[in-house]
Chains A and B, each alone.
Chain A
Amino acid sequence: MRSLDEQVGLLFAWGARFISGTCGRWVDCEPSTRQRVYFANHSSHFDILVLWSSLPRDVRRLTRPLAARDYWESSRFRRYLVLRVFNAIMIDRQGHGGGMRAAYESVEATLKGMGDQYSIIIFPEGTRGDGEHIGPFKGGLYHIARDKPGVELVPVYLENLNRILPKGGLVPIPMVSSISFGRPLVLQEGEKKQDFLDRARQAVLTLQEG
């Protein structure tokens, strides 16, 4: 017997697919339950749900999105969704009064939440973009890659989602979107932080182009 939270999760996954018609396109990457970091461009609050729904069910069970505390804890419904259904790791966003210390704590919380079996979903831009341009990546991805050397870093590109639920929109509008998973990256020996972040961003841009 599945738990209620899991049933709700299935319902949401089904609903997200009905609205967005998304099925994942695994371009240079196979679905797997091994520990991974999925990093994607961010343009809509719908992103987490759609990315999470497009993963196969056994992978989904072992994947925890990173969610910004200020948004997701602002109502009971969101809190239920993000904690019980998505099993998310809550993060205090940088630039919300925290600075370096908050950034450090976010990485700590993420590593703790990953343990040695959970994969995570992160949006390294840190905030939602306009859906066309992908902003510069923040450092968290680098720190996770450095502290978890065995983990695969999978670039993901989400298309059309900001048309489904743009900034300020309340109800998602049905639209066909696509979600592509690219070739996993690994942090090279001695690679500088900025070089790595640029390379990771480039991997998402490559998916956007083709």
Chain B
Amino acid sequence: MDKLTILFFGSVLGLLALGTLCAAFLRRKQAGATAQAVGATLKARVMAWWAMCGVMAVAMLSGGIGSVIVFGLSSFLLLREFITITPTRKADHGALFWAFFVVLPLQYYSLYTGWYGLFIILIPVYAFLIIPIRMVAAGDASRFLERTAKIQWGLMLCIYCVSHAPALLKLSLPGGVSEGFRLLLFLCLVVQIHDLTHTLLEKVIPGHKVAATLGARESWEAVVLAIGLSVGTGAAFAWATPFSAAQAAGMALGVSIMALAGRLCWTAIQNDRGRQGVVVVHTRPPMIERLIPLCFAAPLFLHLTRYFFTTGSLAGF
């Protein structure tokens, strides 16, 4: 790792240490009920980040293959969860086999080898065609459109979108792989700051609801604060990226708007499936809930960076 990366990674770890201290302070015995609740949420989030940072460090140090494995595994677990909460029929079995054991490995293989053409069209085009073909072969036409759409949604969200995050390491940036790694860290940082601010603010200020009909808890006050904070964070860490301060703020703005959209869509999915459908994933909060903001933000961030900041031809990564 170069100096800049170590510095950036170190500052993120510093933020985490700060978060851990804050959580411990909020959860002390004398604190009120609200502070306790905020502290508990903060602690759960910060702990998850420590783990994530550890995983990312391992991914970075082990080179390209590490990040492919780590994110490939995340895609696998996410898709497993998504299929669990989505009703599928017996005839979908063959199509799901393709999704898990052909499409998923192929997507990450194309990422590993840097085959941008396949990476970008495999799921939106070929998986999109293969899934209904396999279902037709299984010979069950009931709710055909609905079933193909659900599996396609799972593939796009859990494999395609997720794989755009590690794809940052493949971009031909002036600073090479370590610059890609800093961009990945930047993306995760902005998304997490945004998501955390929302989650904590929901507990503190009720505010005016953004999407009351969805039953979403997001308020306009929280939206403004969360976006403001993540744009600020983005600008403050511009030194670690190829962006100027204004560009970094703009990137953070785009990323946090997408992250917000991801949160709202998750609420919509929960409404659609009903709480009942979602609790199948027992005991822990669903992984999708944590990662959906990243899923929504990663493609936009990758494409903006690739279009404006890479040096190579646009035929490759």
A interface list, Cβ under 8 A from B:
21, 25, 159-160, 163, 166-169, 171, 173-178
A-B contact count (CB 8 A): 38
Residue of B nearest to A159 (CB): B280
Residue of B nearest to A25 (CB): B282
Known A-B contacts A25-B282, A163-B88; A175 and B93 likewise in contact (beta carbons under 8 Å)? no
Known A-B contacts A160-B84, A171-B101; A176 and B93 likewise in contact (beta carbons under 8 Å)? no
Is there contact, CB below 8 Å, between A166 and B280? no
B interface list, Cβ under 8 A from A:
76-77, 79-81, 83-84, 88, 90, 93, 96-97, 100-101, 280-283
Known A-B contacts A160-B280, A173-B100; A166 and B93 likewise in contact (beta carbons under 8 Å)? yes
Is there contact, CB below 8 Å, between B97 and A176? no
Residue of A nearest to B94 (CB): A169
Cα separation A77 to B80 with both chains bound (whole Å): 27
Supply 6 A–B pairs (Cβ within 8 Å), ascending by A: A25-B283, A166-B93, A167-B90, A173-B97, A173-B100, A175-B84
Cα separation A175 to B77 with both chains bound (whole Å): 9
Q: Which of A25, A167, A175, A178 contacts B83 (CB 8 A)?
A: A175
Q: Which residues of B contact A25 (CB under 8 A)?
A: 282-283
Residue of B nearest to A178 (CB): B282
Q: Which of B77, B101, B280 contacts A178 (CB 8 A)?
A: B280
Q: Which residues of B contact A159 (CB under 8 A)?
A: 280
Cα separation A159 to B280 with both chains bound (whole Å): 9
Task: Give the top 9 A-B pairs by smallest Cβ distance, nearest first.
Answer: A174-B80, A176-B84, A173-B96, A166-B90, A169-B93, A175-B84, A176-B281, A178-B282, A171-B97
Cα separation A178 to B88 with both chains bound (whole Å): 17
